[in-house]
Structure 1
C-alpha cells in the first residue's frame, strides 16, 4: 500500500504542496480500527517512543528512589524547549542521582526557541547537552544506570542494560519480537526502534488500559501517562502542540511527537491508540492530521476542537508574519475491517 494524501498546503487559493502519509488507529485488544495509507509500514517512531522508554525508570525503582514527581516523569518523556522549567528540572534529577550535566551524552543542536537562545547569550552561557530537547529522557536513563549500579558513562549504548531493558519493554508493549525490531541511532545518540505503525499504535492503546497489564507494568504505565497529562508543560513547553493538546483535552488523552513527522496518541476513554507518519518527514503536517483524526473519531468536543483550531488548520506566514496560506487536512479514515 502506498502513502495517501493527508494534507494540502495552500498559498493563496493555489495548492502549493501536498503531504502524504500513513495512519493506524488500533484498539487495546489489537484490532485495526481505522487507517490511511499503509498501517503496516515500518517506521522509526523516534521521540514518540519516549513514554515507552520511560517505563523502566519506574519499574526498576529508580523513580521512587530518587523521588521523581509527575513533572520529573513527564520530563523523561519530553522533547522540550530548553526553557528554565526544563533545564532546572534536568539538573535537579541529575543532582539527586549524584551526577551533573557533564554526564549527558545527548550532544547539542540549535535551540528550538529564539528567546531561550537570546537569554543564554545575555547570560554568557554556551549551548550544552543540558539544552538538548532529549536531556530529560537522558537524565532518566542516567539515573536508572546509577540506581542499578551499572556503568553511567556508556548508558546510551545498545549493549548497556538500560537500553536492553528499553528494547524488551518496547517489544512487550507492542507485542512484536525483539528480533524483528530494526535498530538505528537517534539524533540524541541512543538506540531508536523501528516497528510497523500499527504495532506502535497498539503499544499506545495498551498504555490506555494499564489494568490489563501485569501489576508492575500497569502501575508504571499509569504513572507515566498520568504524569504527562498532569504536567504537559514538561513534554514540550510554550507554544508546543504536545503541551497545548494535552491541556485542551484535560486528562482524556496523552500524545507525543517524534522527529521526521511522527505523532502518537493514546485515548483513555476509548482505549484507542493512534500512530501517524508523514511520508516526507515534514513535521508541520502532523498536527493538522492528528487533530483531524481525533475529529473524525468523534474524540473531541466542540470546545476542545476550538482550542486546537490553530493546530488543525495552521496558517502559512511570510517573513513579515503575514498570513499567506494554510494547511488543510484532506483525508477520510478507512474502516480497518475493509483491509
Structure 2
C-alpha cells in the first residue's frame, strides 16, 4: 500500500512516510482525518501559543510594556536571527533578568549566517540562539509577574507549568488527569494529548469567539496571541520558514505552529477549522507537504495563495549543488465524515 508522503529521486520513490491527520470543527467535531486522528501525540513546540497564555492572562503585557512582536516571539521556534536574539534580550531587560536566567540550553541556530558571524567574531553560542529562547523568556515574564520562583520555572511542579496544564486541558477539552508529560528538547514539560484534541485547541486559537464555554477574558487572550502571531509571523519562525511564509501568504486568516518530531498544527480564522498533523516517524520534511495538501483538499485559500507556497506543497529534493533532483509529494486523500 502506498504511503501518504512519497520522496522521489528523479522519477523513482526512494523513501516514504506515514502521517496522521485530524481536522475538527469549531464545535470539536471530527470533520476529516487520515491515519489515526486519536493518536496520542506530544505536541512539542506546537503547544507554545498556549504556553504563553498565562503571560497575557496575568496582565504581564501591560505590567512590563511588552509589544505584540515580543508576544509572537513567546510562541516561537525562531531561527536565531538578530531580530529574534535582540528581542529576547530586550524582554529580559524589561523584567530585570539576564541571559543566564534562561534555562533552554543552546544549539547551532537555523540562521547559519548568524552562526558564521559569531564564529568570525570569536564568540560562543549562548541561550539567546536557542530556538526556544523566546518561550523561556515568556515563562520568566509570567513567573516574575506572578511572584513565582524564577530558578525552578521549567520544573513540572512549578506553578507556571501547572497553569499551562490547566490551560491545555481547557482549550483541548481533554481531561487534565489524562495529559501525560515528559521533557521537551529545551528542558520544560511537554504534553501528550490526542491529535484531534490538539486540532481543537488550534480551532479555538484561530476563532476564539466560537468557544462558548469559557470566559470572555480567555477568548480575548487567545485572540491577542493569534493576532500577534499572524501580524508578526517572522517572529514565530524566521526568514524562509514555513510557518512565517504560510501566515504571510494567508494574511491574517491562518495561524500556524510547527513542532519537533513531525508535528504541525494550524487553525483557520474564517471557518474555525483546526488541523493537527503528525508524521509517524518524526521526519519534519513531511509536515509542510501534508499541511499544504490538507489546505488544498479543504479548499482553504485560492490558487494565488497556493502558488506562493508551492515549494512547500511539492517540496524539491536538492543535491549539494542546489540542483533539484527529486521531489516530496503528498499521495493521500482525507477521509470525510
- Superposed counterparts of 1:206-225, under 5 Å: 206-211=204-209, 212=211, 213-225=214-226
Identify unmatched segments of 5+ residues in structure 2: none
Q: Who is 2:106 aligned against?
A: 108
Q: Cα RMSD (Å) of the superposition? A: 1.1
After TM superposition, give the deviation of residue 113 of structure 1 in Å: 2.4
2:266 and 2:206 mapped to 1: Cα distance?
A: 10
8 Å contact 1:4–1:22 — kept in the other structure? no
How many angstroms does 1:111 deviate by?
1.8
Q: Residue 128 of structure 1 corresponds to which residue in structure 2? A: 126
* Counterpart residue number, 1:274: 275
- Displacement of 1:8 after TM fit? 0.5
Pairing partner for 1:96 from 94, 97, 106 = 94
TM-score (norm 2): 0.97
Superposition map of 1:195-234 within 5 A: 195-211=193-209, 212=211, 213-234=214-235
Distance in 2, matches of 1:148 and 1:68, equals 16
Q: Which runs of 5+ in 1 are unaligned?
A: none
Q: Once structures 1 and 2 are overlaid, which stretch shifts more, 205-214 or 249-258?
A: 205-214
Separation of aligned partners in 1, 2:323 and 2:308: 21
Contact (CA 8 Å) 1:236, 1:242: kept in 2 or not? yes
Which position in structure 2 is the counterpart of 1:287? 288
Deviates more, 1:303-312 or 1:109-118: 109-118
Counterparts of 1:1-339 in structure 2 under 5 Å?
5-211=3-209, 212=211, 213-335=214-336, 337=337
When the two structures are superposed, what TM-score results if normalisation uses the length of structure 1? Answer: 0.97
**Residues 4 and 20 in structure 1, CA contact (< 8 A), matched pair in contact too:** no
Does the aligned pair in 2 maintain the 1:28–1:208 contact within 8 Å?
Answer: no
The separation in 1 between residues aligned to 2:322 and 2:69, in whole angstroms, is: 34
* Secondary structure at 2:108 match in 1: coil
What is the CA deviation profile of residues 84-112 of structure 1, one whole-angstrom value per residue up to 9, with x for unaligned ones? 10000001111000111110000012221
| Paired residue total | 334
Q: What is the distance in 2 between the residues matched to 1:165 and 1:242?
A: 26
The 2-side partners of 1:70 and 1:84 are apart by 17
- Local SS of the residue matching 1:5: coil
Distance 2:37 2:25 in 1: 13
Q: In structure 2, how many angstroms separate the alpha carbons of the residues matched to 1:22 and 1:283?
A: 13
Give, in angstroms, the shift of residue 4 of structure 1.
Answer: 8.3
Instruction: Measure, in 1, the Cα distance between the counterparts of 2:207 and 2:319.
Output: 44
Does the CA-based 8 Å contact 1:51-1:224 persist in structure 2? yes
3-state secondary structure, aligned to 1:102: helix
- Partners of 1:71 and 1:234 within 8 A in 2: yes
Aligned mates of 1:117, 1:322 — CA distance in 2? 25
- Preserved CA contact (<8 Å) 2:207 2:270: no
Q: Is the Cα–Cα contact under 8 Å of residues 4 and 21 in structure 1 kept in the other structure?
A: no
SS at match of 1:219: helix
CA distance in 2, matches of 1:66, 1:4: 53
More displaced stretch, 258-267 vs 62-71:
62-71
CA–CA separation in structure 2 for the residues paired with 1:324 and 1:4: 21
- Taking the aligned partners of 1:163 and 1:274, their CA distance within structure 2 comes to 25
| 2:207/2:268 contact within 8 Å kept | no
Question: Would you say the 8 A contact 1:277–1:286 is kept in 2?
Answer: yes
Question: Is the contact between residue 4 and residue 36 of structure 1 (CA under 8 Å) also seen in structure 2?
Answer: no
